[in-house]
Amino acid sequence: MKPVIYQLVVRYFGNTTTVNQTDGTIATNGCGKFADINDTALQALKAFGATHIWLAGCLRQATLTGYPEIGLPPDDPDVVKGRAGSLYAVRDYFDVSPDYARNAASRLDEFAALVGRIHGTGLKVMLDFVSNHVARGYHSVVKPDFDFGIGDDMNRFFAHDNHFFYLVQPPGQRLRLSRPAYWNPAGVNFDGAFAPEDGSPGHPPRATGNNVTSSSPAAGDWYETIKLNYGYNFVDQTGHYDPRPRTWDAVDQILAYWQEKGVDGFRCDFAHYVPAEAWSYLITRARQRDAGAFFLAEAYPYAGSGDPVTNLQQLVDAGFDAVYHYPAYNLLKQIYQGHASPDDYDHEMAFPPVAREHLVHYLENHDERRVASPIVRDSGPGGSGFGSAEAGYQLAPLQFLSGRGPVLLLNGQETGEPGAGAEGFNLDDGRTTFFDYWAMPEFVKWVNDGRYDGGALSAAQSALRNFYAGLLGLCQDPSVNGDGYWGLKYFNRPERFPDCPNDLYSFARFQNGSGRLLVVVANFCGGATVPGRIRIPPELATAAALTGNLKVQQLFGREGVSDLIVSRLGAGQLASDGFPVSIATQSACVYAVTGA
């Protein structure tokens, strides 16, 4: 079965308090709870097409919200981003956020009950593993004997057995912190210092999560985090893995802990900053405990970076089930911005960086701008949205049906959540914040006071959600899960066939020799319906074993599932005449070619 991963951010999935005050506290803006993700919600997500629930941001993070009654005071504000705190600045790898519990003291029990509900629905559970860094104030209250840093040689920047990198040259440095000038929440006092890294004996500053070796990281750095040491010295770019670094075993204990609690897989954050040798060890160990353990890598490697991983194939070879196909996502953004063409995307999809079954495709995740956020033409892909939730009608079929690898949706994508407004630490940047307490106002209409039935959605939002549900169902089609991919743009060009406009983009999916072909056709002409004809090259017809009399049936489009027969033709006519299509603006349609 093709994995369909639904990224569920616990902090705001079930939060229906739509005050959304900038820099609002948990009391003002509310917070989602484990209990909100009840059987009704989970059954709805399963019916929607999800196979895996990625419980994003569960691990206890550094935060300005304290629970002193259970021994969890707020963190030093100088090392926290946002009132709620970054979901990716983990304070305790063996704990979950008390924000999400009805009873903070019982938070791990409430998490365990949620895992049981998810499994009871027939779905898999995924957690984040933030592999490269931890919160500056990291300390486990659940397993204090397993804290990082215990036994480190703090007199050396790098030692292969240290957990951290220590800034000891020149000696006597102390950490001095900056923060963005715009972030100055009321009632919070900053002094730019952090006692555990004040330069006193036994308290040297440590390298920041994004490889910064200055004791004064900038406001734009990951200053709230410290980098973990897996035996790779990122300064001189050398690996030291024999004997095995202690960090590998510490991380193995973390993964084993969550596997024992029923977690089926992990989305691994910034995986290219961790050596492939470490991943191979960790994934092998995890699969010794659970042969089906699922590992997904968020990674952006490139040659010459100096990072321990410089291409996606290294991560696949290390055992990852799937890696982010970020070049494909970036190209779609660039097409919308006017900086790339469908031909560029066609080439990327025809010649992907790793085998197609190892690529995860997406239009949203928590790091990226919402589909519905504005197009910003004078920025890179990360600085622009697609301009409208309607873009999903065109782009999601291209991404989700291109291979049998996983697909990923972020909660709120299916209701057209725009990520609008300045949330606090997050500015008005088209993303739903992962630093602040917040609610998704459009998604709340689907939650509908805990009914999870979409009763408050507009007609357009209901249509969009139904579209995504139909598309996710189509993801399990045998042809989509077959081995065959065939880009059709090279064959269907106006210079070859005048009735095939350049604005029509197409590809085929099939199982070799099956006698069936799925053809996806999208319209890249903004503002107009595009008619034309799509032809199938003879080599593809042979590979798919298309012979005799054939019918072409529209299976899926903007209006959802269809069974419209659009053409009947002989196999010999596939290349010469093809079949007619008419694709509405910002849309895509899926056709099946089968025996008559």
Q: What is the pLDDT of residues 321-366, one digit of tens each?
A: 999 999 999 999 999 999 999 999 999 999 999 999 999 999 999 9
Q: Which residues contact 437 (CB under 8 A, 6 or more apart)?
A: 11, 15, 24, 25, 26, 28, 29, 30, 31, 83, 84
Position 489 scores a pLDDT of: 96
pLDDT for 191 beyond 90 = yes
Domains in the chain, start-ordered, CATH in brackets? 1-66+92-134+407-476 (3.30.750.90), 484-595 (2.60.40.1180)
Position 592 scores a pLDDT of: 98
- The string of DSSP codes covering 237-303 is TEE--SSPPHHHHHHHHHHHHHHHTT--EEEEETGGGS-HHHHHHHHHHHHHH-TT-EEEE-----T
Contact 158, 229 (CB under 8 A): yes
Kindly provide the residue ranges of all beta strands, DSSP E only, lying in 395-513, ordered along the sequence.
407-410, 484-487, 504-510
Q: What is the length of the chain?
A: 596
Cα–Cα distance, 340 to 343 (Å, whole number)? 8
> Taking residues 448-457, what's their average pLDDT?
98
Residue 370 carries which DSSP code?
Answer: P
Distance between alpha carbon 34 and the CA centroid of its chain, in Å? Answer: 20
Cα–Cα distance, 358 to 360 (Å, whole number)? 7
CA separation, residue 520 to residues 337, 397, 423, 476, 595 (Å): 23, 7, 38, 15, 18
Position 215 scores a pLDDT of: 98
The confidence band for 214, taking pLDDT boundaries of 50, 70 and 90, is very high
Nearest to 8 by CA among 49, 83, 44, 58: 58
Cα–Cα distance, 104 to 70 (Å, whole number)? 8
CA dihedral 364, 490, 475, 445 (to 10 degrees): 40
| 124-130 vs 52-56, strand pairing mode | parallel
pLDDT for 283 beyond 90 = yes
pLDDT tens readout for residues 215-230: 999 999 999 999 999 9
Distance between alpha carbon 494 and the CA centroid of its chain, in Å? Answer: 37
Tokens standing for 101? Answer: 């519990």
Contact 14, 55 (CB under 8 A): no
pLDDT tens readout for residues 383-436: 999 999 999 999 999 999 999 999 999 999 999 999 999 999 999 999 999 999
> Taking residues 104-119, what's their average pLDDT?
98
- The string of DSSP codes covering 38-49 is -HHHHHHHHHHT
Tokens standing for 441? Answer: 């106002």
Contact 329, 369 (CB under 8 A): no
Cα–Cα distance, 10 to 67 (Å, whole number)? 19
> Taking residues 3-11, what's their average pLDDT?
98
Contact 436, 391 (CB under 8 A): no
Residue 99 carries which DSSP code?
Answer: G
Position 557 scores a pLDDT of: 96
Residue with tokens 């798919």: 544
Handedness of CA 522, 512, 363, 457 (dihedral sign): positive
Tell me the whole-structure pTM to 2 decimals: 0.98
The confidence band for 319, taking pLDDT boundaries of 50, 70 and 90, is very high
pLDDT for 596 beyond 90 = no
As a whole number of Å, the end-to-end CA separation of the chain is 28
Mean pLDDT of the chain: 97
> Taking residues 61-88, what's their average pLDDT?
98
Residue 39: count of CB within 10 angstroms of its CB: 12
The confidence band for 140, taking pLDDT boundaries of 50, 70 and 90, is very high
The confidence band for 51, taking pLDDT boundaries of 50, 70 and 90, is very high
Cα–Cα distance, 533 to 385 (Å, whole number)? 31
Contact 139, 61 (CB under 8 A): no
The confidence band for 526, taking pLDDT boundaries of 50, 70 and 90, is confident
Cα–Cα distance, 242 to 88 (Å, whole number)? 30
Q: Which of 8-17, 213-222, 321-330, 562-571 has the lowest mean pLDDT?
A: 562-571
Q: Which H or E run contains 500?
A: none
Position 466 scores a pLDDT of: 98
